[in-house]
Amino acid sequence: MKISVHGSGYVGLVSAACFASMGNEVLCVDVDQARIARLRQGEAPIVEPGLDQLLTEGLQSGRLRFTDVPAEGVHFGLLQFIAVGTPPDEDGSADLKYVLQVAHTIGAHMTSEKIVVDKSTVPVGTADKVRETIAAALGARHATLPFDVVSNPEFLKEGSAIEDFAHPDRIVVGAASPRSIELMRSLYAPFTRNHERLMVMAVRDAEFTKYAANSMLAARISMMNEFANIAERLGVDIEQVRKGIGSDARIGYPFLYPGVGYGGSCFPKDVQALLRTAARSGYEPLMLQAVEEVNRRQKASLFQKIQTHFKGELRGRTLALWGLAFKPNTDDMREAPSRVLMEALWQQGARVRAYDPAAMHEARRLYGGQPLLSLCPTQMECLDGADGLAVVTEWSQFRSPDLEDIRRRLKQAVIFDGRNVYSPQELRAAGFSHYSVGRPAVTA
């Protein structure tokens, strides 16, 4: 198939590369000329395992191309995927201006039939707005051309997006037209050979499914963090509780890990957008409000433990920080708990020495002018002269460090473990004070 993908961000680029890997001809469109120039050279602008290889293979085969001319993308593909950003508006609702700009461009330049596929995460009713925008652009040209609008939300996890796309749990397609449904079945057939995973439903149902899925996962995280906060006050080990409840098949283990809150480009934005959608419909979503409030509070919890340990005297102190990205295997720092922690420390006059395997460039872009931040070349070097260590992202390379080396480098043997990476018993034996999430504190 010939496919145009409008947007070369996280969703657009992963989708384009994966479609091309199955033999389709894909043209990826973005108005950012510098970004397109990098992509044409095979330089991925995001960190995602496996993406570099797919990008190189797609370019070398000629099946994956890039353009900064939107009209070229409209003319190229029968399938027109819209995969542009939907950032939060001032009130938290999804801003659809980029989605509707692409819709207008399609209507303004199409000369043949187009199947327009909303891949971006969008509120219920967006397909109707896209359809109206395309129809208006066609009307302005006095043109009558066939088109359809389909919802096909993505369910990709940053850090495993290529694997998720290649081996999906489900493929949700919101469509009514038999032709559109058949085209989508054909497109995704290579990804569902072992088991039929494509689910066809109404367009509005598909749009809501994406928000409901992310809100449900966010709720599990906030619920577990709520349990952890209670457990700390009762002298209970939440990790044992997690195993006890996760073994119940009705609950399961995924997204059942306590920590310092969720971040990234999806959960915070999607929960807020669903909150605003519910409010506009006249419903007060009490549970969604609690999910968001618990997460906001949880992001401040590690700072509170640091402040308590040092008896409120943080000015002039230095904290080492392992992990800047909101999760492992990505460089994404959007809504990351690390940002909340660092900004709180700086406000109290503390310095931060930080390391992350992938997000150093992003941290430099965000905080390059911050005099209280030092970005260190290795995880061990950032410990030198620090008063304590805070672990904020559970990268695998942080899991089994040399504890003796950590003790030698730190001024105080104290670890603030925001992801429950370490065993309290092992750290006690090694002479550390250890503060984690939902487990009794260890003091040296």
Q: What does the DSSP assignment read for 341-400?
A: HHHHHHHTT-EEEEE-SS-HHHHHHHHTT-TTEEE-SSTTGGGTT-SEEEE-S--GGGSS
Compute the distance between CA of residue 348 and CA of residue 308 in angstroms, rounded to an integer.
Answer: 13
pLDDT of residue 11: 95
Compute the distance between CA of residue 88 and CA of residue 182 in angstroms, rounded to an integer.
Answer: 34
Q: Which two tokens stand for residue 88?
A: 């939060």
The sign one gets for the Cα dihedral 178, 12, 54, 50 is negative
Residues 6+ apart with CB under 8 A from 52: 42, 44
From the list 33, 37, 46, 252, the residue with the least C-alpha distance to 17 is: 46
Q: Are 35 and 45 in contact (CB under 8 A)?
A: yes
pLDDT of residue 303: 98
Q: Which two tokens stand for residue 427?
A: 């750290």
pLDDT at 140 over 80: yes
Give me the mean pLDDT over the 24-28 stretch: 98
Distance of CA 182 to the CA centre of its chain: 30
pLDDT band at 416; cut points 50, 70, 90: very high
Q: Whole-number mean pLDDT of the chain?
A: 96
pLDDT at 195 over 80: no
pLDDT of residue 309: 97
Question: Active-site residues: which are they?
Answer: 266
Length of the chain: 444
Q: Kindly report, residue by residue over 269-318, the tens digit of the pLDDT.
A: 999 999 999 999 999 999 999 999 999 999 999 999 999 999 999 999 99
pLDDT of residue 265: 87
Q: Kindly report, residue by residue over 55-106, the tens digit of the pLDDT.
A: 999 999 999 999 999 999 999 999 999 999 998 887 778 899 999 999 999 9
Q: What percent of the chain has pLDDT over 90?
A: 96
pLDDT at 53 over 80: yes
Q: Spell out where 105-185 has E strands.
A: 114-118, 147-151, 171-174
Neighbours of 186 (CB within 10 A): 10
pLDDT at 204 over 90: yes
Give me the mean pLDDT over the 104-121 stretch: 97
Q: Are 374 and 382 in contact (CB under 8 A)?
A: yes
pLDDT band at 111; cut points 50, 70, 90: very high
Give me the mean pLDDT over the 172-184 stretch: 97
Across 81-92, b (16+ Cβ under 10 Å) vs e yields bbbbbbeeeeeb
pLDDT at 194 over 80: no
pLDDT of residue 94: 86
Q: Which two tokens stand for residue 27?
A: 């043209």
| H helices present in 235-266, as ranges | 238-246
pLDDT band at 431; cut points 50, 70, 90: very high
Compute the distance between CA of residue 54 and CA of residue 139 in angstroms, rounded to an integer.
Answer: 40
From the list 255, 337, 265, 258, the residue with the least C-alpha distance to 304 is: 337
Q: Are 35 and 66 in contact (CB under 8 A)?
A: no
Grouping H, G, I as helix, E, B as strand and the rest as coil, residue 73 is helix
pLDDT at 424 over 90: yes
Q: Kindly report, residue by residue over 330-377, the tens digit of the pLDDT.
A: 999 999 999 999 999 999 999 999 999 999 999 999 999 999 999 999
Q: What percent of the chain has pLDDT over 70?
A: 100
Compute the distance between CA of residue 261 and CA of residue 298 in angstroms, rounded to an integer.
Answer: 5
What is the side-by-side order of every strand in the sheet holding 351-355? 373-375, 351-355, 318-322, 388-391, 414-417, 433-435
From the list 372, 392, 363, the residue with the least C-alpha distance to 299 is: 392
From the list 296, 380, 381, the residue with the least C-alpha distance to 339 is: 296
